[in-house]
């Protein structure tokens, strides 16, 4: 991989890997020299599951790069800066700022627990970071002391290692049945294999604060099964040192997501403690965890206890050497309801959108199976629960959520949720010769004309299944006050002389859920004929 110079590798034609400084489940982290800009950086070499087929590995790499680019759009002092996302000899890499200083885990191991004031300071910094990530529909999914850096000299708190981050709607289990995240910091709803929202990251923050104050996680046990049982069932007892901010910790460690402390509530309580030194008191009764931006909510699920036991058994069996892949099947919801009704809205001429005026029932849990297209022109593999495979007369096949209905607008095809809250759009056209990058940049230039309140637009050149592609993302205001702010994600790629364009549009507060629909549609898309 890369250019070899003695024992030194150079990737991307500019990053010289100098020393390995970390290793985790998602890859290896290197200290590197950016020879173009003359600066030190950190380079994360993402690992790929070698047990997958060649096509599945390729799709996994593309998914990693796509999600890494989403994280690269995040800008906040408490979030690691991503300088570059590259592929070198088919291996994906993330180039990040190099933080001088160790992790919170290192500090605890070296100096012991922190006091309540320092824990509150760290907690506030992480809440600021999560607010930005969640507003963009990005969940961290592995918030723990080892992934929190403390910059030497400044004390800046930096949330890093978004290596397993995904958009809202991901489950705890990977496509091959593996466990995603660190069990001691994983929320109960994710243990149950449920579709988890921003509240799962807040649970992890509560566990992290306990660890910072006590020196170890409150859910540490001698076995994986013991950890899973502790997270889901055991009485939660914060350490005595946590008493000054106990209402925050207990609120974050509320097992039922609907009753869990919201991000804004936790921030208000911690700021009150830092300002006064007095233990903050939450409002009584505690406000429910409801859909308010920037939080992305989770919804209570039925039958959690049974599913947790099944998932626990499968995971423990996997550790013992038995087939863990069955966990993905055991974790599926038993109420695969589609998104609920909402008000309809009109579309822009380039990236369609619609917005709800009311609530919606939870989207179904999706266990996406990455498979290569079959020669017949339809997606291969088992269609995930809550989805169906459609073969469209416009010349393509893909998977769409149950309950989405088809409509036409000139050359564009839409698959829309009830009430048009979510819209999947597809357009197939001849390539005029400029390619997807030029097409997307022209569309972005026309964004203010076609999309009221157009902002935060970005176009990134990328690859899709080996084809030249460009990803366009932006926020806008919708066509009426009732719609509210919306987020659109649009991938365009060239294949066999044609441009294929797939996009999704949704309310900003549900951008993560929409991204799940988008990823499934893009990953399963197969051209069937030229129409």
111 is catalytic: no
Strands 526-527 and 396-401, bridge-based pairing: antiparallel
How far is 129 from 134, CA to CA, in rounded Å? 9
Among positive and negative, which fits the CA dihedral 85, 86, 91, 96? Answer: negative
Pairing of strands 412-416, 423-430: antiparallel
Q: Catalytic residue among 34, 142, 501, 519, which?
A: 142
The angle at the Cα of 514, spanning 456 to 499, to the nearest 5 degrees, equals 75
Q: What is the CB-side half-sphere exposure of residue 243 using CA atoms within 13 A?
A: 2
Nearest to 234 by CA among 253, 209, 248, 249: 253
Q: Give the span between the Cα atoms of 155 and 149, in whole angstroms.
A: 9
CA-based nearest residue to 261, from 123, 438, 404, 410? 123
> In Å, what is the CA distance from 396 to each residue of 59, 151, 385, 519?
19, 50, 21, 16
Element (H, E) at 84: strand 82-88
CA distances from 188 to 229, 250, 265 (A): 10, 14, 21
* Residue 201, C-beta contacts closer than 8 angstroms, at least 6 positions apart: 130, 133, 134, 139, 140, 141, 143
| Calculated CA dihedral for residues 232, 237, 238, 241, nearest 10 degrees | -160
Q: HSE of 47 in the Cβ direction (CA atoms, 13 Å)?
A: 11
Dihedral (CA of 134, 427, 521, 72) sign:
negative
Dihedral angle over CA of 50, 54, 60, 61, nearest 10: 90
DSSP character string of 335-374: --PPP---------SSS-----SS--PPPPP------PPP
CB–CB of 192/310 below 8 Å? Answer: no
The residues annotated as belonging to the active site are 142
């Amino acid at each position: 991989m890369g250019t070899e110079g003695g024992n030194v590798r150079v990737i991307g034609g500019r990053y010289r890997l100098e020393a390995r400084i970390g290793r985790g489940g998602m890859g290896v982290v290197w200290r590197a020299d950016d020879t173009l800009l003359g600066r030190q950086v950190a380079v994360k070499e993402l690992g790929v599951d070698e047990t997958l087929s060649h096509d599945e590995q390729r799709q996994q790499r593309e998914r990693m790069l796509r999600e890494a680019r989403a994280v690269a759009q995040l800008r906040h002092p408490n979030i690691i800066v991503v300088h570059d996302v590259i592929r070198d000899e088919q291996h994906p890499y993330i180039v990040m700022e190099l933080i001088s200083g160790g992790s919170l885990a290192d500090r605890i191991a070296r100096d012991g627990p922190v006091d309540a004031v320092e824990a509150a300071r760290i907690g506030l910094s992480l809440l600021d970071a999560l607010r930005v990530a969640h507003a963009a529909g990005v969940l961290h999914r592995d918030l723990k002391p080892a992934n929190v850096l403390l910059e030497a000299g400044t004390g800046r708190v930096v949330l890093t290692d978004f290596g397993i981050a995904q958009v809202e709607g991901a489950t705890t289990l990977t496509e091959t049945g593996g466990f995603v995240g660190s069990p001691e910091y994983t929320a109960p709803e994710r243990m149950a294999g449920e579709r988890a929202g921003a509240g799962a990251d807040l649970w992890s923050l509560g566990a992290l604060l306990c660890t910072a104050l006590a020196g170890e996680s409150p859910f540490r046990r001698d076995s994986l099964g013991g950890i899973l049982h502790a997270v889901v069932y055991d009485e939660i007892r914060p350490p005595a040192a946590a008493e000054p901010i106990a209402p925050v910790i207990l609120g974050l460690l509320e097992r039922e997501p609907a009753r869990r402390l919201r991000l804004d509530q936790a921030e208000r309580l911690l700021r009150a403690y830092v300002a006064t030194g007095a233990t903050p008191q939450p409002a009584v009764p505690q406000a429910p965890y409801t859909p308010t931006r920037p939080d992305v909510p989770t919804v209570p699920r039925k039958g959690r206890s049974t599913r947790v036991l099944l998932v626990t058994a499968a995971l423990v069996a996997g550790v013992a050497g038995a087939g863990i892949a069955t966990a993905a099947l055991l974790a599926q919801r038993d109420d695969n309801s589609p998104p609920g009704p909402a008000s309809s809205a009109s579309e822009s001429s380039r990236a369609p959108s619609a917005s709800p005026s009311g609530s919606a029932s939870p989207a179904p849990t999706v266990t996406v199976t990455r498979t290569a297209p079959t020669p017949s022109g339809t997606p291969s593999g088992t269609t995930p629960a809550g989805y169906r495979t459609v073969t469209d007369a416009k010349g393509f096949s893909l998977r769409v959520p149950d309950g989405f209905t088809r409509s036409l607008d000139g050359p564009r095809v839409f698959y829309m949720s009830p009430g048009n809250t979510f819209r999947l759009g597809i357009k197939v056209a001849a390539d005029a010769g400029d390619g997807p990058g030029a097409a997307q940049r022209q569309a972005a230039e026309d964004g203010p004309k076609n999309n009221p309140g157009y902002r935060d637009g970005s176009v990134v050149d990328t690859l899709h299944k080996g084809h030249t592609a460009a990803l366009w993302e932006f926020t806008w205001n919708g066509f009426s006050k009732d719609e509210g702010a919306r987020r659109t994600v649009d991938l365009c790629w060239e294949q066999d002389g044609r441009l294929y364009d797939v996009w999704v549009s949704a309310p900003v507060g549900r951008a993560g859920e929409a991204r799940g629909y988008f990823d499934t549609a893009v990953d399963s898309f197969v051209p069937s004929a030229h129409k």
